[in-house]
A and B are shown apart, each in its own frame.
Chain A
Amino acid sequence: MRDRIIEIIGTHGKNQGALIPVLKAVQRMNPRQYIPQEASQLVARIMGLRESEVYEVVSFYGEFSETPRAEHVIKICDSTVCRVNHHRELVDILEHTLGIRVGEASRDGKFFLEYSPCFGACDVAPALRIDDKVYGNLDRDKLEAILEAYRR
């Protein structure tokens, strides 16, 4: 882990302004998409920051997770537009198909389900994101096909 982090910081620089890009890369390199405590301590040490400064950032931003998630993170928009477009049905399908509740990882470690604030896909609501990719105008068939593609 140490070598990977040194490499990441080598790419982005040690300036505090590089902290968010560095943390994003550190999270991405982790197969369960989170920032373990040891990783943020290493980032602090190598960048010459206080651990408290790194932790402030990790704990503040929605994208960072202190706890393990999964190979793919499914983010369901929970904001107004998706609500009026019946996002609840999406949640039900996902929870049922994956056998987990929002805030949990599927047993195979493949998917983690979480709510997200609006990600600007209101024109195709109800929508969700899997990692960085956005899927809109969803219904049961589409959703199941998408999940299947990720399972493969």
Chain B
Amino acid sequence: MKKNVALITENFHHYIPPDLAGYKHFGGFTALKKALALSEEDLIERIEDSGLRGRGGAAYPTGKKMRQSKAYQDDIKYLICNADEGEPGTFKDRDLLEQDPFGVLEGMVITAYAVGATHGILYLREEYAHLLELLQGAMAAMRREGLLGQGILGTALDFDMTIFSGAGAYICGEGTSLIESMEGRPGRPRNKPPYTKAQGLYLKPTLVSNVETFSAITAIVKHPQGVFTGYGTQKSPGTKLISLCGNVNNPGTYEVPFGLTLEEIITELGHGVAGDKGIKFVQVGGISGPLLPRACLKMPLTYEDFDAEGLSIGSGAVLVVDEDTDILDFLDAVAAFFKHESCGKCTPCREGNRQLMNILKRMREGTALPSDPENIQRIAHTMKYASFCGLGKTAPTALLSAIKYCPEEIFMRRGQ
């Protein structure tokens, strides 16, 4: 199996954004032309057939989501590209926007056509403000070429887009929080129903998808049927972008076919652990993902294999941590992050993260109480089952996995 492929990332380094002519030279906007030649129905079917699942972390089938969105007719329908890539250890969306912004934007126009969206918004996280100008330039270039605006490419498609620049909040990666922030409020999640697809931004039908999902849509439509599905496994067709980072020699964004093992990713793409040290654990899916011990590294990266273990590929972050790292120090960073980023709205997340920080502090200082192992379990249970949104539900994941895989290192520390 080829380890590092270039399908979604095929244009990386081939043109210098926002050079639209360069993008076109490598087949840019042929996907859009093909899409516009299809009926909306056939286009959605095409995406359904590709087996593409949302690349933001929730892995909801993209075609199904498009079909649901299409069913909501209104004078205004928003299409939002979620570029609030806040998951620590994840930077593949940044790379896509930086290296091939047209690939993303083309995917948005294709999707707008399929679902009948009228207004596009790219929600760019504050931390990616340095990409703002580039993306504005890319959109302007598209507008000049009739690829955005009224009657795109001479068809009846009217669609334009803007950029909304966030103000720094991890929670805004969650769709309804993102919408709240666009409406000028704190990014705290909304109750559902109403669902975003029916009543999202300004209570209009809204479809929110991840950056990589749009890039993948472009790649799927651009290439003949079977190219995308030619990669990966039966149940996890296609390729996935991996953000490989931590103590590896060669960190970076890699496009891999589903089915590769974590070990292959680390040793063959990442060229192994820096300084030839041993791996202590790997955190997959970002900071809300579990810590996997070395024994798990043979596991293939597929939805089905991860599901079977109760794990999630999440955003596709692979953080390698070497044996020199103090696991409690690492867990403290995780807990501090969630304590910083909890929106405060619901009790389990707000108070649970505070309590987990307290316990971790005791553990690091060697003053853990005899009841603390049980306290962790109980608080984590409450957070997992009772939190309002995914942030609180997944905040204790890393800690729980660490306890599962290496309890001795966590509970044995004693004060001097």
Contact = CB atoms under 8 A, between A and B. Distances in A.
Query: Interface centre among A19, A80, A124, by most B CB within 10 Å?
Result: A80
A81 interface: yes
B314 to A, nearest CB: 14
Contacts of A116: 127, 168
Interface stretch (B45-53, B213-221, B322-330, B365-373): B322-330
B231 interface: no
A91 B184 CA distance: 34
B167 A62 contact: yes
Contact of B126 (A62, A85, A133): A62
A129 interface: yes
Nearest to B172: A61
B316 interface: no
Interface string A71-97: 000000011110111000000000000
A57 B186 contact: yes
A87 to B, nearest CB: 10
Interface residues of A, number: 39
Nearest to A122: B245
A57 B91 contact: no
B246 A118 contact: no
B258 interface: no
B117 interface: no
Nearest to A75: B127
A14 B210 CA distance: 29
B322 A56 contact: no
Contact of B245 (A18, A57, A123): A123
A81 B186 contact: no
Given A79-B287, A81-B246, A117-B170, A16 B334 contact: no
Nearest to B127: A119
A63 B168 contact: yes
A20 B184 contact: yes
Interface stretch (B13-21, B82-90, B101-109): B82-90
A108 interface: no
A116 B324 CA distance: 24
B280 to A, nearest CB: 9
B89 A81 contact: yes
Given A117-B170, A122-B245, A80 B186 contact: no
A85 B167 contact: no
A102 interface: no
A117 B89 CA distance: 11
Given A60-B169, A63-B168, A80 B89 contact: yes
B20 to A, nearest CB: 24
> Chain B CB within 10 Å — which of A20, A78, A129, A134 has the most?
A20
Interface in B232-255: 243-247, 251-253
A24 interface: yes
**Interface centre among A24, A56, A79, A124, by most B CB within 10 Å?**
A79
B379 interface: no
B88 A118 contact: yes
B245 A125 contact: yes
B322 A24 contact: no
Interface string B314-354: 00010101100100011001101100110100000000000
Nearest to B329: A83
B186 A56 contact: yes
A42 interface: no
B165 to A, nearest CB: 7
B183 A16 contact: yes
Contact of B88 (A80, A129, A132): A80
A9 interface: no
Contacts of B168: 61-64, 116-117
B245 A132 contact: no
Contacts of A19: 184-185
A122 B184 contact: no
A57 B169 CA distance: 11
Given A56-B185, A84-B325, 6 more contacts: A15-B184, A19-B184, A57-B167, A118-B287, A122-B319, A123-B91
Give the top 9 A-B pairs by smallest Cβ distance, nearest first: A62-B168, A19-B184, A118-B88, A61-B167, A119-B127, A16-B184, A60-B186, A122-B245, A63-B168
